[in-house]
Chain A
Amino acid sequence: MIFEFLNAGLDVFLSPLALGLTFAGIIVGLVVGAMPGLGPLMGIILLLPVAIGLPPVPAMGFLIAIFVGGSCGGSISAILLRIPGTPLAAATLYDGYPMAQKGRASDAIGIAVASSAIGGLIGGVVLVFCAPILASFAANFAPPEYAMLAIMGLFAIVVISGGSIIKGLLAGSFGLLLATVGTDSFSTGLRFTFGSNNLLNGFHIVAVVVGLFAISEMATQMMKRDLLKIPDVKVARPGLHTIALTLKHYVNLIRSSAIGTFFGAIPGAGGVISSFTSYAVAKATAKPGEDYGEGAEGGVVATEAANNATVGGTLVPTLSLGIPGDASSAMLLGALLILGFIPGPAMFENNPDVVGGIFMVYLASNVFLLIAGIMATPIFVYVLRIPKVYLIPSILLLCSIGTFALQASVFDLQVMLVFGLIGILFRAADYPLAPVVIGMILGPILEANLRRSLLISREGYWIFLDRPVSATLVIINALLLAAMVYLTIKRVRGAKNSELSKGMASHD
């Protein structure tokens, strides 16, 4: 069954367009990953308007490669500048930067790239084997199971991703409400359109996401005072010998990749948790001579293998169940929906060539990462020297043309600007933005399956408890809800106690 998918996808994958765009995606991913403030999510968002005009497999190859390259690119700035390009590379600082200070910057980057590629390939093997099995299991799912899965995806992301639970839920619910704007697919009535024809199909997800993330990020960057500064970065040229250096840590590599894949498959956990966890495990099991925190190669191997393996893991629930593991995979899911494919068991049944093509582009993107990462690192280092005064207008322009190109609509640009302002408000008030996107993507799935469940039910909402899998998911959702209540109470009490002790100390 597994090889059937790979075989079916081989033809569409072996086209110059798919191969070329996958390679281009790796380059773009490494560039956006290396630039502090951007990262794989922003890369996917910025290039999504370009991708959705392409055939499905080249388009997904381009976006998945940005995800893969971006997950690794953050290590370049972490090692050279002591600024992680993305939060994913935060743990790489511990040993990557000390390695650079000891004159081993090229080795550190080479090890980071090789570990990322090998970790990604291990995650890819898990993806290729597990996604079809999970999709085959989910083939028996009916609307009640899908409705509960959608709720589970949203709850899991809010619980695990940290921050205020209530703010996470509010952001997710805001996304769910945004998804209701437009023509109702059941009654064909118009909801929240305010008489505007532009809103008949609702808000275009790309316009919303570009506004929320990219516009608000550019406004945030404008508040910094290093807009004209040219970062002082020395050119590093990693060689092929760094692959051998990486393979010397094969136990660490396999273990960290397994941790990364596992956390990737859990909605909400993501690369940051997996890279810190694998770093902690690697440090705990280190041999006496390995000085973690002072430039140990194993530290870079652990964090980079884990955060790239996460990508393979996160694609498992995204492709087989239609439940995104994080905001980046939510955007990939959104791209598939725009391209006309509904991720889940039906896609495995009806479009094996697309599924197989996605598997192939994912595996190939990790091979390309190894090639591009080792050969072209000096280019990415030069990119790090570009001052923000040139980057900010370029990114704003890319946002504008990309969003305009979706439907040749200025209304989409206005939507983008409005959601940019909402994004700024949410960032300023510490509301997470990822749940908004995930809510917006899961919203139509949740509503459609909720209403279908009630249509086929003779006992109303009891249908969710009548079916064993659905009942299990209801219990999991109830447990997640209980965890949310517990964590919120704990946080409020903790804050209150610390304020009390502060108050008592000031009285003393």
Chain B
Amino acid sequence: MASSRTLNFFALGFLLAVVVTVFWQIGTDLKEQGIASGGPYDNAAAYPRIIAIFVAVLLAFQFGIEILKGKAAPEAEGGQLAEIQPSDLGRAGMILVVFALYLMVLTTIGYHLTTAPLIFAIMWICGMRNALKMVLSSVAIATGFAFVFEVFLNVVLPLGIWDIFIPW
């Protein structure tokens, strides 16, 4: 992925939101707890405040640089990003959506019922269309990982509301 002005402003906006959150929390929650002032022992706000001020100064510099760059080279907008097709971005976006859905239902439905469909869906997004191969691979990968983690590392994977587990 390449840099572009828009993405840089998104990143700056995100970091600005972090700085604002730090000051907002110091002014409200930390103040209410009585840890926003005093000496080095009691003042839990001093250090994050210093870092947040430092970040704010850096953000101002970076913002200035982006503005200067934008004035000097407006045609640079997009840059190498132009090489990425919407379908490429779509695949990356879809995998994140599918993964987010998986995390949402994981504790309710359990590992064994959700993981093979997740892998199947990712393979489909990747462009694979051989259904039999996809089913067999997704079940094999999901079961293989479960075996390694449950048997060798004693990890109890989410059982879901139906308490589904494999008695290895």
Chain A positions within 8 Å of B, measured between CB atoms, are 50, 53, 166-167, 169-170, 173-174, 176-177, 180, 184, 186-187, 189-192, 215, 218-220, 222-225, 227-228, 388-390, 392-394, 396-398, 400-401, 404-405, 408, 410, 413-414, 417, 420-422, 424-431, 447, 450-452, 454-455, 488, 492, 495-496, 499-500, 502-503
A501 to B33, CA, bound (A): 57
A474–B103 Cα distance when bound, in Å, is 46
Mark B115-148 against chain A: 1 for CB-CB distance below 8 A, else 0.
Answer: 1001100110111100000000110011001100
Contact A222 B54 (CB under 8 A): no
Task: Give every chain B residue within 8 A of A190 (Cβ-Cβ).
Answer: 29, 33
B25 with A218: CB separation less than 8 A: no
B141 touches A393 (CB 8 A): yes
Q: Is the CB of B157 within 8 A of A451?
A: no
Question: Is the CB–CB distance between B126 and A227 below 8 Å?
Answer: yes
Q: Point out the residue from A222, A425, A428, A496 that lies within 8 Å of B126, measured CB to CB.
A: A222
In the bound complex, CA of A421 to CA of B145 (Å): 25
Tell me the bound Cα distance from A431 to B10 in angstroms: 12
- Chain B residues whose CB sits within 8 angstroms of the CB of A454 once the complex forms: 39-40
| A401 and B128 form a contact (CB under 8 A) | no
Residue of B nearest to A388 (CB): B126
- A397, B107: Cβ atoms closer than 8 Å: no
Q: Which residues of B contact A405 (CB under 8 A)?
A: 149, 153, 155
A50, A177, A492 pick with most chain B CB within 10 angstroms: A177
If A166-B61, A428-B7 touch, does A451 touch B40 (CB 8 Å cutoff)? yes
B122 touches A166 (CB 8 A): no
Q: A389-B126, A492-B68 are in contact. Are A184 and B35 (CB under 8 A)?
A: yes
Partner of B99, one of A184, A417, A450, A451: A417
Residues on B with beta carbons closer than 8 Å to the beta carbon of A218: 95
Binding site for A on B (CB under 8 A): 1-4, 7-8, 10-11, 14-15, 18, 21-22, 25, 29-30, 33-35, 39-45, 47-48, 51-52, 54-55, 58-59, 61-62, 65, 68-69, 72-73, 84, 88-89, 91-92, 95-96, 99-100, 102-103, 106-107, 111, 115, 118-119, 122-123, 125-128, 137-138, 141-142, 145-146, 149, 153-158
- A422 and B55 contact, Cβ closer than 8 Å, known pairs A396-B99, A429-B3: no
- Residues from chain B with Cβ under 8 Å of A401 in the complex: 111, 145-146, 149, 155, 157
**For residue A426, which residues in chain B have a CB less than 8 angstroms away from its CB?**
11
Give Cα A400 to B100, complex, Å. 11
Complex Cα gap A166–B65 (Å)? 10
Asked whether, in the complex, the Cβ of A425 is within 8 Å of the Cβ of B40, the reply is no
CA of A397 to CA of B102 in the docked complex: distance in angstroms?
A: 11
In the A-B complex, the 9 residue pairs with the smallest Cβ-Cβ separation, listed nearest first, are A189-B35, A429-B11, A454-B40, A499-B72, A184-B44, A430-B3, A223-B88, A393-B119, A227-B126
Q: Considering only CB atoms, which chain A residue lies closest to B46 in the complex?
A: A451
Query: Which secondary structure dominates where chain A touches chain B?
Result: helix
6 contacts between A and B (CB under 8 A): A186-B41, A227-B126, A389-B123, A389-B127, A390-B137, A410-B106
CB contacts (< 8 Å) of B59 on chain A: these are 170
Query: A86 to nearest B CB, angstroms?
Result: 18
User: Quick one: closest B residue to A452, CB to CB?
Assistant: B40
Smallest CB–CB gap between A198 and chain B, Å?
14
Given contact pairs A174-B18, A177-B51, A223-B84, A420 touches B96 in the complex (Cβ within 8 A):
yes
User: What residues of chain B lie closer than 8 Å to A220, measured between beta carbons?
Assistant: 1, 92
A202–B76 CA distance with the chains assembled, in angstroms: 40
Which chain B residue shows the least CB distance to A173? Answer: B55
Max chain A CB contacts within 10 Å: which of B10, B126, B154? B126
Q: With A222-B126, A223-B1, A223-B92 in contact, is A53–B35 under 8 Å at CB? A: no
Distance A4 CA – B119 CA, assembled complex (angstroms): 50
- How many Å lie between the Cα of A358 and that of B8 in the bound state? 42
Residues from chain B with a CB closer than 8 A to the CB of A184 are 35, 44
CA distance A133 to B155 in the complex (A): 41
How far, in angstroms, from A502 to B95 measured CA to CA in the complex?
Answer: 40
List the B side residues contacting A53 at CB < 8 Å.
Answer: 153-154
Q: Which residue in A167, A389, A420, A425 is a CB contact (below 8 Å) of B14?
A: A425
**Additional A-B contacts beyond A397-B115, A410-B158 (19; CB < 8 A):** A53-B153, A170-B15, A184-B35, A189-B44, A222-B92, A222-B95, A223-B91, A392-B95, A393-B123, A394-B145, A401-B157, A405-B155, A410-B103, A429-B7, A429-B11, A450-B47, A451-B40, A495-B69, A495-B72
Assembled-state Cα–Cα distance A360/B134 (Å): 44
Are B73 and A499 neighbours in the complex by a CB distance under 8 Å?
yes
B122 with A393: CB separation less than 8 A = yes
Do B119 and A177 have beta carbons less than 8 Å apart? no
- Bound state CA distance, A319 and B110, in angstroms? 41
Cross-chain contact A397 with B137 (CB below 8 angstroms): no
Provide the bound-state CA to CA distance between A169 and B59, in Å. 10
Residues of A within 8 A of B4 (CB): 428
Q: Return A411 CB to nearest CB of chain B, in Å.
A: 10
